[in-house]
Amino acid sequence: MFDKLSQGLTKAIQTLKGHSRITETNIANSVKEIRRVLIQADVHYKVAKHVTETIKEKALGSKVIHSVSPGQLFTKIVNEELTFLMGSEKKEINIIGNPAVIMLVGLQGSGKTTLAAKLAASLKKKPKKVLLVACDIYRPAAIEQLKVLGNSINVDVYAEPLNKNVLEIAQNSLKYAKDGAYHVVIIDTAGRLGIDEAMMEELMNLKENLNPSETLFVIDSMIGQDAVNVAKAFDEKINFDGIVLTKLDGDAKGGVALSICSIVNKPIKFISVGEKITDLDTFHPERMAGRILGMGDIISFVEKAEQAYDDQQSKLIDKKFRKNELDFNDLLMHLEKIEKMGSIKGLMNMLPSSIANNVQVDENALKISKFIINSMTPYERTNPSSLKNIKRCERIAKGSGKKLADVKKLIKQFESMLKIAKQLGNNAELKKKFMS
């Protein structure tokens, strides 16, 4: 969602290339362009005006170090201001109490129910025993949706389908959680298509009686500047603790992430970047600023990889790689780990634009490869050389519903990987460079 914003800011900064120093004249166009790009990205005009004035003031007051170009210095200043705009530093959620209560609030369609499951899955890794509570008694199938999501991650769901007293359901769930020794209770509240007094009264009543350790305001980032007005209305009534931006993988302008923190003075704590249960990230302002400026977010990329692979698996793969003993079982495991890291598109957004822009990614490539490998016999997976038999390849293509050319392409890619492994095994210097 930050593509256009990133491209616009990069273009504005590049206007300083070739200049030996920063002056009021050569910076004027850059600042003007940045303001225009921010407003086009749905950043609130007051926020855009303030941040560009600050950037200009800091840029003119900075001395250009001999080893740093004006463009690099200006990039650093813009990066710092974007980071400050989004809250400066990461803010953790408060998990205090026995059990700790997390209450989710927001408009209907913001993604609260899905977020409840994503958050539960994340907390489960801590590890915490989590209970999801269905307090949306108005939206058809809301309770059933939460049950399905809870079942998919092996998290219990408390619901009373016949009870229309939301406060009573919530209070009963807390008693159930205490009896069951749950660490965290996540309350999925009802939303509306718009803000109304009845909804606010219900939420205020819930918060007053439940005394949650964390109240998270969930907002669809694709609704643009309206997100800021909705956030202000909720904060005035509910006084929430933090913000969760959902649908950040959608085709939106991205300005809400830059505006909402400074307008309501509350931190963004999580961002949801896809439909998978694993597509929930802790919000790091400095990392997001880097992504917006095309510098990528390698730290988050590495963290996702570390979560997907355990040490034992990594050592086993490394050992087989060094001995040139890799087979299709190893490749299948690798593909499944990549899937756990999130969408390919989301992962590419974490890489610097100089790299990501030169890589063509097919979102379906992983699925096609998995279909093909799953259509192989156990013998074929552990003995890749057996696939030199064309009849085996034809059977695999038919079984996977793919073309024979797809099967041959995967085998060729696998053979190329084996050649690299063999070269590394025979060349100590090359191996050293590759592993570093």
CATH code for the domain defined by 3-85: 1.20.120.140
- Find the range with the poorest average confidence among 183-192, 195-204, 233-242: 195-204
To the nearest whole percent, how much of the chain has pLDDT over 70?
77
Q: Which of 160, 191, 183 is nearest to 173 (CA)?
A: 160
Most confident of 9-18, 193-202, 362-371, 395-404: 395-404
Q: How does residue 126 score in pLDDT terms, banded at 50, 70 and 90?
A: confident
pLDDT at 435: 42
Q: What residues does CATH 1.20.120.140 cover in the chain? A: 3-85
DSSP string, 219-257: EEGGGTTHHHHHHHHHHHHH--SEEEEE-TTSS---HHH
Tens of pLDDT, residues 280-306 = 888 888 888 777 776 555 555 555 555
Angle between helices 197-210 and 166-179 (to 10 degrees): 30
Once rounded to an integer, what is the mean pLDDT over residues 131-146? Answer: 91
Residue 139, pLDDT > 70, answer yes
CA distance 64 to 66: 6
Q: What residues does CATH 1.10.260.30 cover in the chain? A: 302-435
Most confident of 67-76, 214-223, 310-319: 214-223
pLDDT at 428: 46
pLDDT at 34: 85
Do 9 and 292 contact (CB within 8 A), yes or no?
yes
Sign, Cα dihedral of 117, 122, 123, 128? positive
Report the DSSP beta bridge partners of residue 184.
100, 130
Tens of pLDDT, residues 407-433 = 999 998 888 777 766 665 554 444 444
Q: Give the CATH number of domain 100-295; options: 3.90.650.10, 2.30.29.30, 3.40.50.300, 3.40.50.1220.
A: 3.40.50.300
Q: How does residue 374 score in pLDDT terms, banded at 50, 70 and 90?
A: very high
CA distance 28 to 26: 6
Q: What residues does CATH 3.40.50.300 cover in the chain? A: 100-295
* Per-residue CA distances from 347 to 90, 270, 304, 339, 373 (Å): 20, 17, 9, 10, 23
To the nearest whole percent, how much of the chain has pLDDT over 90?
32
Q: Which of 281, 227, 283 is nearest to 254 (CA)?
A: 227
Sign, Cα dihedral of 364, 366, 369, 374? negative
Q: Which position has the token pair 């070269």?
A: 423
Q: What is the mean pLDDT of the chain?
A: 80
Q: Which CATH superfamily is domain 302-435 in?
A: Signal recognition particle, SRP54 subunit, M-domain (1.10.260.30)
Q: How does residue 436 score in pLDDT terms, banded at 50, 70 and 90?
A: very low
pLDDT at 246: 87
Residue 8, pLDDT > 80, answer no
- Find the range with the poorest average confidence among 77-81, 232-236, 310-314: 310-314
Q: How does residue 342 score in pLDDT terms, banded at 50, 70 and 90?
A: low
* Per-residue CA distances from 330 to 113, 326, 336, 375 (Å): 36, 6, 10, 15
Tens of pLDDT, residues 35-64 = 888 888 878 788 888 888 888 888 777 655
pLDDT at 128: 92
CA distance 324 to 346: 31
Do 134 and 188 contact (CB within 8 A), yes or no?
yes
Most confident of 250-254, 256-260, 361-365, 390-394: 390-394
pLDDT at 352: 54
Give the Cβ contact number of residue 271 at 10 Å. Answer: 21
* Per-residue CA distances from 307 to 67, 151, 304, 436 (Å): 38, 22, 5, 21
% helix, strand, coil for the chain, step of 5:
60, 10, 30
pLDDT at 430: 42
pLDDT at 310: 60
Do 78 and 31 contact (CB within 8 A), yes or no?
no
Do 55 and 272 contact (CB within 8 A), yes or no?
no
CA distance 380 to 395: 12
Q: How does residue 250 score in pLDDT terms, banded at 50, 70 and 90?
A: low
CA distance 363 to 433: 30
Q: Which position has the token pair 């399905």?
A: 148
pLDDT at 153: 93
Once rounded to an integer, what is the mean pLDDT over residues 168-194? Answer: 92
Residue 275, pLDDT > 60, answer yes
pLDDT at 226: 78
pLDDT at 67: 46
pLDDT at 433: 43
CA distance 333 to 375: 15
Q: How does residue 372 score in pLDDT terms, banded at 50, 70 and 90?
A: very high
Do 380 and 360 contact (CB within 8 A), yes or no?
no
